[in-house]
Structure formats: C-alpha cells, structure tokens
Amino acid sequence: MARQKPYDGVALCAPVTTPYVRFSDQTAHWWAGAALAALARQTGLGPADFDGFCFASFSAGPDTVVGMVQHLGLSPRWMDHIPTGGASGVMALRRAARAVQMGDAEVVACVAADTNQIDSFRQTLQGFSRFSQDATYPYGFGGPNATFALIADNFMREYGVTREDFAKLCVAQRTNALSNPLALMKKPLTHEQYMQARPIADPIHLFDCVMPCAGAEAFIVTTPEKAQELGLSTARLAATIERHNAFADDPVQTRGGWARDIDDLWAAAGCTPQDMDMVQLYDDYPVIVAMQLADLGFCDKPALSRFITENDFTIAGSLPLNTNGGQLSAGQAGAAGGFQNVTEGLRQILRCPLGDQIPDATRALISGFGLVNYDRGVCTGAAVLEQDVLR
C-alpha cells in the first residue's frame, strides 16, 4: 500500500467553540454562522476571505454544504460535506489539509454545527440511516444507548473491563470539565454517583451517556505563510489515518478501523503513543474510549482494565484524556461532537485551552469514531497534531 505523504505546507489554527446550550430554538444554519463569526473575531477574516469550506451537520436538512455556502454568503473554490458525525473532525482535517497543500484552497474554514430543538433528537434518530430505521430502532428504540449497550455487554465480558474502569474514565473527564466554563456539566461526579446511576440499557447507565445539545465548533486549515500573515499560532499535522466499515465480519464490534491502520499512523508520525501529551478521543460511551485506547496502541485489550487503573486521565495526570470534559461532560452538539476533539487538542498545544492547560503540551492524539449506521460505528479516523508556531 502506498505510504502517506507528509502534510507539508499545512497549518492548523484558530480553534473556536461556540458555547453549547441544552436546547436551542435556532437552526444549524444559525449555529454555523455563529461559529464563522467566532472565527472572524479571532482572525479578522470575512466571508470573502475563505476560499475553502468544509461542513459537518446532522440537522441542516434539507441543506448540505451547498445550501450553507449560499446561506452564509461564502464563495469558496473548494468545499466538502462530511456527514460522518464523530469522525467528521479528523476527516475534515485530512481533506482540508490536502486541499491547502495542493493549492486547491488557501484558507479553509472547517465547521461543524448542530442545533437541538425539543424532540429533534428523536426525529434525527428516526431518519438516521436506512439500516437503523429497518433493523435497529424498531428494536426497542433505545437509540445509540441500546446499540452501545450490546457492544459494551460483549466487550466487558470479552476483555474483563468493568464498570469500575468506566467510572474512572468518566470521573476523570468530569474533573477536567470543571475547569472548562463552557462545559454543560458543572457539578463534580463521584465514583459512587457513577456506580449508583440509574440503568439506561444494561450495562449502560446514566453517566455513560452524553447529553445531546446545540453548539458549533470550527477551526482553520491554511498555509503557514497565511497563518503568519494573520498572526495565528499554528499546529502541524504529523500523520492521519481513516478507515470505514472495517472488520465487518466481527460478530459484535470489539475494535474499530484504527486497529487496521494504527502502525501506519505511528510510522508516518515518527513517534509512539508514549510521546503523546494527551489523547482527545471520541467518547460517546466510555466503552468506546477504552476500545480506542487499545486500538490506538496504548495497551492490549486484555490489559485495558489494568491500564486504566494505572493511569490518571485528568489534566494533571499521566495521560490527560478529553481535557475539555469530552462529550460526556461538555455535551454532544451533534456533529460538533466529532470536532471538539480536534479543537480541544489544538487549543492545548496552541496554549489557549478553555479550561486548565496541560503543562508543556506539544503533541496531541485525536481520534474520531462516527456513525452508528446499524450495529456499530462505521467511520474511524485518527490524527497526530504537533505544536508548530506560537504567536
């Protein structure tokens, strides 16, 4: 297989997060515009200045990126629509990076925006995908909770991972969230509270679940020269992987596409998991966080329980995890939930975190996981980001 070529001449900058709200009477268009306005405030760029636009959303229907471009007055020479939810951040990053590197665009705004109106979550689920409409939701309509309950049920027995382990991940993320003023969860979460939470779909309990909300995330992919001209701090894209519908024959999902391509990621990045100052992992459920830790090379699956026990996942800990609180504590704003791992990773290495700063952080591992089309997440991706220039 052809090796990945380096992302030379690509600069990642200007991560923005619009403050989330639990319910919003606004539309995805409004939230996307809010994210662009935040980018404009940070960079001074206006609609005419972006020649690339990459968009992710679940709730913009009937519009795609096309409708959004006209709605928001953009005139890009390159655009892309990324309907892959939790994997959309990494995928937007990859696509925008190559467009900039090859000169198809110079300044790409990558935006994920979703609203959450009363009852819109149910409606989104109902029409989410053909397989889920035919073969998942009619089975109790537990939503993603039920699907991940089946995955967790199998994973926990297969690899000896326990609720205690999940508790540790969730409690750590909540601790991280407490320093993030934008996190929806404001109260500490204790181990006991986690363990005693009401069951939602066994073995999934309340604090294993994200809270759907409205919000938007955005960042800019451009050239180092343009970033310098704008006075923006930048990060480099060291390496990426992406894989969809991997291991389709696995009866129940116990691994994602990362497991297939992880060696390529570390080879291209020229570093190892141990070199990472943080991991920003897609965290719709702690079982998926655990799965990623293994598939991304931090430990073997049978060793997961011990690995979790031996590490501290808080910002001050041995392996800071989802330092903004992740979706579990900051909220899941639809497709923006698949962008916040990118924006938070960028902020940490660009030294502009929403909450506490990981001391001396320069390298971030970002991992995305998206789209439960039927019985498992189909889309996976990962990226290694490195601090480049601080301005």
Q: Which residues are at the interface with another protein (CB under 8 A)?
A: 121-122, 125-127, 130-131, 133-143, 145-147, 149-151, 153-154, 198-204, 248, 251-252, 374-375
User: Which pair of structure tokens corresponds to residue 338?
Assistant: 């698949």
Q: Are 104 and 77 in contact (CB under 8 A)?
A: yes
Minimum CB–partner distance for residue 126 and another protein (Å): 6
Minimum CB–partner distance for residue 379 and another protein (Å): 17
**CB closer to another protein, 49 vs 375:** 375
**CB closer to another protein, 103 vs 199:** 199
**CB closer to another protein, 151 vs 232:** 151
Minimum CB–partner distance for residue 61 and another protein (Å): 15
CA count, 13 A, side-chain hemisphere, 389: 17
Minimum CB–partner distance for residue 371 and another protein (Å): 15
- Give the rounded distance of the alpha carbon of 185 from its chain centre: 18
**CB closer to another protein, 25 vs 139:** 139
Distance CA(389)–CA(391), nearest Å, equals 6
Distance CA(368)–CA(295), nearest Å, equals 12
Minimum CB–partner distance for residue 373 and another protein (Å): 10
**CB closer to another protein, 50 vs 137:** 137
**CB closer to another protein, 74 vs 151:** 151
Minimum CB–partner distance for residue 141 and another protein (Å): 3
Strand ordering across the sheet containing 107-114: 78-81, 52-56, 107-114, 214-222, 11-21, 234-244, 377-389, 363-372, 278-281
**CB closer to another protein, 136 vs 176:** 136
Minimum CB–partner distance for residue 130 and another protein (Å): 5
Minimum CB–partner distance for residue 334 and another protein (Å): 16
**CB closer to another protein, 60 vs 151:** 151
Distance CA(331)–CA(186), nearest Å, equals 11
Measuring CA to CA, which residue among 94, 156, 100 is closest to residue 342? 94
Distance CA(89)–CA(281), nearest Å, equals 11
Distance CA(264)–CA(330), nearest Å, equals 31
